[in-house]
Amino acid sequence: MPASATATAFQQCLHPDCRRTYGVEETLTACPACGNLLDLEYDWNRVPVPKSLKEFEARWSTRRNPLDCSGVWRFRELLPFAKDADIVTIGEGQTILQSSAAVGKFVGMNADRLFLQYEGLNPSGSFKDNGMTAAATHARMVGAKVAACASTGNTSASLAIYASTARIFRVVVFVGSGKIAYGKLSQALDFDARTLQILGDFDDALERVREVAGARGIYLCNSVNPFRLEGQKTIMFRILEALAWEPPDWIVVPGGNLGNSSAFGKAFAELKKLGLIDRIPRLAVINAAGANKLHRLYEHQKLRWNDGRTDDAMIESFYATMTNEKRRASTLASAIEINRPVNLKKCLRALEVCDGVVREVSDQEILDAKAQVGAGGFGCEPASAASVAGAKLLRDQGVIAPSDRVVCILTGHQLKDPTATVAYHSADAALFAEKLGPHGVTTAPFANRPVVVENNLQKIIEALEV
């Protein structure tokens, strides 16, 4: 009998014809038997689960305990794979849900129906910290000395901050050359991560880091690591908490490597199974049009989860055509500039669980939505604004009703990518043309142009009066 058969938490292959299980003490990023993705599963009959989500509110009064302060670990009964003593936390998940009247109006919602979930408020400035705390915890459980990831920037910033603060492992990050926003690169460097700029894009970097991790026994922290996705489930728990445990009608999230959407679907499936919610929100995953593999596979080719028996031949031939035609992802939303989303199958399952839809939005729509989030909220990086642009599109199409309660996930902080923001608002036509033009952005209807004024009191006062 494998150790996993008697454990309360174990890893399990998602393919229905395989379903092999592995213990949590193993470091795996795919099923060794069949190569499919692994899930973390629990024997829910043997772990203490609250009778009602409201019970988690008791943790608000014990916030001196770092585990109760963490926005991830105060829900630890819903991701019960680690002993308290093993948990690595840096105070992640102190993020908030806010209703935004201005952004709601832009999207076309009735008053108080549009909410923004600011994951940019995490320690490293993106949602990745929700997952990285879980991966770092597992890395400690298995005694990892070196951890690595490939990244479009945020995963590397997150892994680097956990390494620099927790100091339990060293870290190597692989980034694509010229493909990473400066805010993110500066974080990896400043947090002292060994940073390899691969002469290629994100997909190349991910392929290489997987090989290196396998060859050198390095702990891999990309979202193929099933532990990471357990942490990302808690974004949904916090949204439910902010809405007094009443599920919204829609969750709208940008789609890149599809870890978030996968984790959200798993969170809702588990909550429903445990009887902790009675209704599952619908999920909208939004691709950038320049990196739209999920959109094409799901909406055009009608690829479905199909109880785990996905049409792999269709996926392979789709990717082969892409390679033959030398089509590579290209979007200003560099965080989601991804060719082959590794969590595709888990995302298909989430779309099934949540009666989901997939849409694509142009870089123009993304930057316009981003400017609206900045003017009517805390701001976000370009990839994050895909959620708001996607909500607007679904509203325009009548898929989202104006009276629905909609939560857009803002995955990363505004300061992650100042280049795109400044180019959009700037009055410098050459900068606009250089940075945004190649991505089909031709106008900036919501630009807030800086005003150039002579160094003269009278002129400044005149400028104020305009």
Binding site for ligand F0G (CB under 6 A): 126, 128, 151-155, 254-260, 335-336, 381, 383-384, 411-412
Q: In the complex, what is the shortest distance from the CB of residue 162 to ligand F0G, in angstroms, rounded to a whole number?
A: 14
Q: For residue 231, how many other CB atoms are within 10 A of its CB?
A: 29
Cβ proximity of 383 and 409 under 8 Å? no
Q: In the complex, what is the shortest distance from the CB of residue 229 to ligand F0G, in angstroms, rounded to a whole number?
A: 9
CA dihedral 113, 420, 295, 396 (to 10 degrees): 40
Nearer to ligand F0G, 131 or 376 (CB): 131
Q: In the complex, what is the shortest distance from the CB of residue 297 to ligand F0G, in angstroms, rounded to a whole number?
A: 14
User: Which strand ranges, in their side-by-side order, compose the sheet holding 406-410?
Assistant: 96-99, 114-118, 406-410, 250-254, 282-288, 357-361
Instruction: Say how many CA atoms lie within 13 Å of 263 toward its Cβ.
Output: 28
Q: In the complex, what is the shortest distance from the CB of residue 364 to ligand F0G, in angstroms, rounded to a whole number?
A: 18
Nearer to ligand F0G, 27 or 151 (CB): 151
Nearer to ligand F0G, 8 or 186 (CB): 186
- What gap in Å lies between CA 272 and CA 171, rounded to an integer? 37
DSSP one-letter string for 379-431:
---HHHHHHHHHHHHHHHTTSS-TTS-EEEEE-B-GGG-HHHHHHHH-S-HHH
Q: In the complex, what is the shortest distance from the CB of residue 69 to ligand F0G, in angstroms, rounded to a whole number?
A: 24
Which of 136, 193, 145 shows the shortest CA–CA distance to 169? Answer: 145
Nearer to ligand F0G, 173 or 400 (CB): 173
Q: In the complex, what is the shortest distance from the CB of residue 136 to ligand F0G, in angstroms, rounded to a whole number?
A: 16
Nearer to ligand F0G, 381 or 404 (CB): 381
Q: In the complex, what is the shortest distance from the CB of residue 378 to ligand F0G, in angstroms, rounded to a whole number?
A: 14
Q: What tokens appear for 112 in the block? A: 């108080």
Nearer to ligand F0G, 157 or 423 (CB): 157
DSSP one-letter string for 187-201:
HHHHTT-EEEEESS-
What does DSSP say about strands 114-118 and 96-99: parallel, antiparallel, or unpaired?
antiparallel
| Residue closest to ligand F0G (Cβ) | 256
Q: In the complex, what is the shortest distance from the CB of residue 131 to ligand F0G, in angstroms, rounded to a whole number?
A: 8
Q: In the complex, what is the shortest distance from the CB of residue 155 to ligand F0G, in angstroms, rounded to a whole number?
A: 4
DSSP one-letter string for 122-187:
STTSBTHHHHHHHHHHHHHHTT-SEEEEEESSHHHHHHHHHHHHH-SSEEEEEEETT-S-HHHHHH
Q: What tokens appear for 404 in the block? A: 């629905």
- What gap in Å lies between CA 279 and CA 459, rounded to an integer? 59
Nearer to ligand F0G, 336 or 436 (CB): 336
Distances (CA, A) of 448 to 114, 377, 424: 23, 15, 9
Nearer to ligand F0G, 137 or 287 (CB): 287
Which of 384, 464, 394 shows the shortest CA–CA distance to 421? Answer: 384
Nearer to ligand F0G, 53 or 213 (CB): 213
